[in-house]
Every structure is written in C-alpha cells, then in structure tokens.
Amino acid sequence: MRVALLLMAALMTQLPAGAAWARIPRVCHRCQTACGKAISECLADAVTSCPKAPRGKAHKCANKARHQCKKATTTRCTNSCKTTGSPVCPSGPTMPTPAACVPYTSTCTAVPVMPVGTTNPVSGQVSYNFNANTGSPGVGGCCVIDGCAGITKFNTGTGGVNLFYDETEFVDSTTHEVTNGEIITKLGVTCGVATPTNVYSLSDIYQINFSPDLPFLIPPPPGAWTTPYVASPDGLSVSIDSADAHPSDTHNTFTPSTWRLVGQSATVDKVCAEQQLMTGHATASFIKNDGTPCTVTIYSQGTRTVSGH
C-alpha cells in the first residue's frame, strides 16, 4: 500500500508539465524541426558579437547564443501555430532591407484598439477583450537603433508587436450584481536580432514588455486602456511609459546588471484587421557604468494573427 501511494504521488508531481505540453496542439510540436533554418540564421548573427578568445569563453558564448536562438525562435513559432494551426517558422528575407531604421508605415485601414464588451446570456457575466499579436505565416520586419552599442540592426523576416486586454467581471449568482473582477493587460515590442554580448554581457534578442494588472472598480465602467496606459484620442493606438507604471510591470531582455535603467516606453502605433499588418515601437534609456547615457530604439511590424483559436 505504501509503495502504491508513493507511485501515485510521483505521478501527480509530473502532471503539471505534462498538462502544459498537452495544451499545445500536436501539429505545433513540429516547430522544433520546422525552425532549423531560422535558428541557424539567428545563431549566425548572434555569434558575431561573441569574443574570439579565450577559446573557453568563446565556446560558452556560442552555446548560450544557440540556446537563446532556439528558445526564442521555437517559442514564436509555437505561439503563432496555436492561433493559425500551422507550424510555420519564418526563414530568410521576406521584405527588402530598409535604407534606414525608421518607423514602419502601412496602407491598411486601422481598426480601434478599444476593448469590446460581451455578456454571457446565462450568467449575465460581462467581459471586455482586445487581442492583437503578430505571428507567422505572414510578412514582417524590425530594426534596432542601439545607441549603447553604436550599431543599427535589421530583421527582414519577422517583427513582434502584441497588445492584450482581458477584463472579467464576477457576478453574484443570486443578486446578479458585480462583486469583483480582474483586468489583465500586456503590451510589447520585439525585434528578433541578437544583442551584442560584448556590450550587454548577455545573449538575447531585443524585447520591451509591459504587463500591468489594471485596478478594478465597482461599479465597473466600460473596459478601457486606463492609467498607466494612454490611448490616442481616436482610439487607434495605445502607449505606456515606465514613469507611469510600477517597476514590477516593466520588463526588457537586455538591461546589464550594472547599468541603471532610466526608463522605457512602448507604443502600438497601428492595428489593422487580422492577417494584415500591425506596427509598434519602443525605447529604453540607460546610464552606463561610466556615467554616459544611451538609448535603444526598436521599430517593428508584423502580420496580425487570427485570434480566438
């Protein structure tokens, strides 16, 4: 009996990981092999910033770059696959390299980014949602003006922009009045080019994210991008600045441990219909160890995926 109980306990400890993997559609498991070429291209770009000597340090840097490229590329493929049903990994140039790193523009018609409310006809529960993410298949591109490293880099295959709002109101089953709720949000801009390890002492890609949970009010007003977000008057874009957000809600992938992050911001500039382009930009400002200031600017655009799958 004791052995049986121990076996059951051991099996139960394995359920969370297995369940998480099971939530990924079977077809998306093929991202591991579908992204081989894209991972190689990412690695070829990443290792250029690794030191040539000593040999051990160069080898360690290359291994870390390989791990980061595989993780970032496969994750983007899997996330896109979960909405499109296709394990497509962008590889190779699909857009011409711009003459300069400047904000992207598109001719598609912009759609409002304001959350849309729906009501459950049975429970009366109201929710407000907006979800727009770039992914594959589809064209995209991004560039980075890295004033800290003194370089400008381009990715002509894919760019990352995401905007997410999810508000859920909890309704009392007897009175049908709202008793509580939560508002989860995310805004991020990414460029899949490698950060120079000789500057940042880490191997990653350029990514700036915000993920504040907005305060829920009773009675709840209609869903909206409230502080720390700022929506444009026409409701077609939304931005956020770290000066208005809690430090725990601001993130980036390239701040050196010994530098001071002065501030960062991100904006979703334009969202078009699904399977059309959406654009965004982000900045991060630092004070280096020697006291000099510098700024990193990311411009990105990509094809908006089909949501709700």
- Per-position DSSP letters for 112-157, written without gaps between them: --S-EEEE-TTT--EEEEEEEEB-SSS-EEEEEEETTTTEEEEESS
For the segment 208-213, the average pLDDT, to the nearest whole number, is: 95
Tens of pLDDT along 243-293?
Answer: 999 999 999 999 999 999 999 999 999 999 998 999 999 999 999 999 999
Task: For CA atoms 37, 152, 198, 71, give the dihedral sign.
Answer: negative
pLDDT at 80: 67
pLDDT at 187: 97
* pLDDT category of residue 20 using cuts at 50, 70 and 90: very low
For the segment 109-131, the average pLDDT, to the nearest whole number, is: 88
- Name the burial class of residue 271, with classes exposed (0-12), middle (13-18) and buried (19+) by CB atoms within 10 angstroms of its CB: buried
The reported pTM is: 0.72
**Integer Cα distance of 306 and 189 in angstroms:** 18
The one-letter amino acid code at 186 reads K
The residue among 28 and 79 whose pLDDT is bigger is 28
In the three-class reduction of DSSP (H, G, I as helix; E, B as strand; rest coil), residue 30 is classed as: helix
Which residue in 66, 35, 27 sits closest to 50, CA to CA? 66
- Residue 19 pLDDT exceeds 60: no
For the segment 87-116, the average pLDDT, to the nearest whole number, is: 80
- Name the burial class of residue 76, with classes exposed (0-12), middle (13-18) and buried (19+) by CB atoms within 10 angstroms of its CB: buried
pLDDT at 57: 72
In the three-class reduction of DSSP (H, G, I as helix; E, B as strand; rest coil), residue 93 is classed as: coil
* pLDDT category of residue 83 using cuts at 50, 70 and 90: low
Share of the chain above pLDDT 90, in %: 46
* pLDDT category of residue 33 using cuts at 50, 70 and 90: confident
Task: Calculate ∠ Cα 100-35-198, nearest 5°.
Answer: 50
User: Is residue 141 a contact partner of residue 154, using CB atoms and an 8 Å limit?
Assistant: yes
- Residue 15 pLDDT exceeds 50: no
Beta bridge partners of 299: 143, 281
The residue among 52 and 197 whose pLDDT is bigger is 197
Q: What integer best gives the mean pLDDT of the chain?
A: 82
For the segment 95-111, the average pLDDT, to the nearest whole number, is: 87
> If you search the block for the tokens 């300069």, which residue do you land on?
100
